[in-house]
Chains A and B, each alone.
Chain A
Amino acid sequence: MNVNYKITFPADYRNIVPLRDLAYHIAKLQGFSEQKSEHLRSIVDEVANNAVEYGSQKTSEVILEIFADENAIKIACHDQGHGNTLKADEIKQQLNEEVPLTASRGRGLRMIVKAFADEFDLTDRQGGGITVTATVKK
């Protein structure tokens, strides 16, 4: 069964809580394991939090897309680039830098999403902003 969602939400962390749960439930419905479904929940949470924190202002909106079929689930998160002047390639460069074990920040995309996703990429959006895509295969 193919399932596609496109959700636009105000850039507020509170809006991300039901979206990460939605990703988990979609994964379960598509027959993904409990572990992979939890990975999807974490991926959506981390990429959406990143979009709110680094690519948004109070009035911004974030778009989350989920494309699911029986073999893989792909998520795409688009921010408006408000407050962020870095290009996707510069962010990717930063994500290759190591984070000390005791660091207080920097684990979301760099360690969690990269480890939990089978495919992961960042691209520049036309008109500003970043799109983060991540795919988890069954």
Chain B
Amino acid sequence: MSDITITSSELLVGTQLLKFSGQLDETNIEEQAKKVYKIMEEGAKNLVFDFSELTYLNSKSIGYIADWQQKISQKGGRLVIIGAKENIFDILDVVGLTNIVTMVDTVEEAKKTV
């Protein structure tokens, strides 16, 4: 099982900041996804994912990100990703997700985007 920690905090009213540390893959994504869906159900309009400590991501995890993005945008909100490492950006880019998810470098930039 790959190690992953997701911590959440309120960044702005209606905007939750989720910090991912570790690796997301087949061995842990289903369990971790439940936390994200719960935060969405609790009323977060926007989600900001801090990926600065996320070291690996695979296609199944990307499928969940696509689903979260779709659900958030259907409610008029935004999904923003902060600080993706080069390999994470690379894989998000190759599947086209960088075209539909806002990618920024810092929390301050994310605040201005949502």
Contact = CB atoms under 8 A, between A and B. Distances in A.
Nearest to A53: B26
Nearest to B62: A107
Contact of A42 (B2, B27, B58, B97): B58
B53 interface: no
Contact of B60 (A17, A42, A49, A115): A49
A78 to B, nearest CB: 19
A16 interface: yes
A126 interface: no
A116 B63 CA distance: 18
| Interface SS of B by simple majority | helix
Interface string B1-21: 110000000000000000000
Contacts of B23: 17
Contacts, number: 70
Contact of A101 (B56, B90, B97): B97
B94 A116 contact: yes
B61 to A, nearest CB: 10
B67 A102 contact: yes
Interface string B81-114: 0000011001100111101100000000000000
Nearest to B65: A104
Contacts of B86: 34-35, 38
A10 interface: no
Interface string A99-134: 001111101100110011000000000000000000
B59 interface: yes
Nearest to A104: B63
Interface of A: 13-14, 16-17, 34-35, 38-39, 41-42, 45-46, 49, 52, 101-105, 107-108, 111-112, 115-116
